[in-house]
Chains A and B, each alone.
Chain A
Amino acid sequence: MGELFFRFVIGGVVVSVFAALGDVLRPKSFAGLFGAAPSIALATLGLMVHGHGNQYAALESRSMILGACAFFVYAAVSSFALRRVSAPTLVTILALLPVWIVVVVSLYRLLG
Chain B
Amino acid sequence: MISFHLASLKQTKLHQYGIRFLMGGLCTVGAGLIGKHFGPAIGGLFLAFPAIFPAGVSLIESHEKENKQKVGANGETRGRLAASIDSTGAALGCIGLIAFAALSWRFLVSHSAAWAITIATLAWTVTAVSLWLLRRYRIFRSF
Q: Which residues of A contact B (CB under 8 A)?
A: 4, 7-16, 18-20, 22-49, 52, 54-72, 74-76, 78-80, 82-83, 86, 89-90, 93-94, 97, 100, 104, 108, 112
Contacts and interface: CB of A to CB of B under 8 A. Distances in A.
A45 B84 CA distance: 30
Nearest to B92: A33
Q: Interface on chain A toward B: helix, strand, loop, or mixed SS?
A: helix
Nearest to B56: A35
Contacts of B143: 76, 79-80
Most chain B Cβ neighbours within 10 Å, of A38, A43, A112: A38
B87 A78 contact: yes
A15 B128 CA distance: 17
Contacts of B52: 15, 18-19, 35, 39
| B interface bracket (residues with beta carbon within 8 Å of A) | 35 or more
Nearest to A56: B40
A45 to B, nearest CB: 6
Contacts of B88: 29, 32, 75-76, 79
Contacts of A23: 8-9, 11-12, 59
A45 B32 contact: no
Contact of B32 (A35, A38, A47, A69): A47
Given A38-B120, A38-B124, A60-B35, A93 B58 contact: yes
B116 to A, nearest CB: 8
B44 A78 contact: no
B104 A58 contact: yes
Contacts of B100: 38, 41, 64, 68
B44 A35 contact: no
A104 B9 CA distance: 34
A61 B104 contact: yes
Contacts of B43: 60, 63
Interface in B46-64: 46-61
A67 B24 CA distance: 17
A65 B44 CA distance: 8
A20 to B, nearest CB: 7
> Closest 4 interchain pairs by CB?
A32-B89, A11-B28, A15-B24, A63-B44
